[in-house]
């Protein structure tokens, strides 16, 4: 089990969690300022290097790679916000773009372009 500490990067925690969990096909366990990743199958092991790559891909896709630093210690990955003036602007810009094009699940952050797909997705939260 790998822990991703987002206490210094709460603005991106939810979207990061969805991206990394989907990318690695892992089950996320939510905490207030961090999330844990565990494999769906007990025979599989989630590699820390895969989690780091997924986080780096997410940050790059949001144009925030230069604004965050990844610090690892054992099975904990801390995401630390570096001083940068473009961070807020980039976050707001990506949030605006996503709101216009996508429907988002209020439970987990799942995003889709189709309202019917979102309605179907929401049903899994009530099973």
The CATH class for the domain spanning 2-126 reads: alpha beta
Q: How far apart are CA 65 and CA 68, in angstroms?
A: 6
Domain ranges of the chain: 2-126
pLDDT for the residue 68: 87
pLDDT for the residue 84: 58
pLDDT for the residue 49: 92
3-class DSSP assignment, residue 60: helix
pLDDT for the residue 90: 63
pLDDT for the residue 4: 93
pTM, entire model: 0.66
Among the listed residues 88, 119, 86, 90, the one whose alpha carbon sits nearest the alpha carbon of residue 105? 119
Residue spans of the chain under pLDDT 50: none
């Amino acid at each position: 089990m790998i822990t991703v500490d987002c206490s210094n990067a709460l603005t991106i925690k939810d979207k990061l969690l969805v991206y990394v969990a989907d990318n690695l096909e892992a089950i996320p366990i939510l905490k207030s300022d961090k999330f844990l990743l565990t494999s769906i199958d007990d025979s599989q092991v989630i590699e820390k290097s895969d989690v780091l790559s997924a986080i780096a891909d997410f940050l790059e896709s949001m144009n925030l790679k230069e604004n965050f630093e990844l610090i690892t210690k054992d099975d904990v990955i801390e995401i630390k916000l570096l001083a940068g003036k473009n961070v807020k602007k980039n976050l707001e810009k990506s949030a605006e773009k996503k709101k216009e094009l996508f429907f988002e699940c209020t439970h987990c952050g799942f995003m889709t372009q189709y309202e019917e797909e979102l309605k179907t997705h929401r049903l899994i939260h009530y099973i």
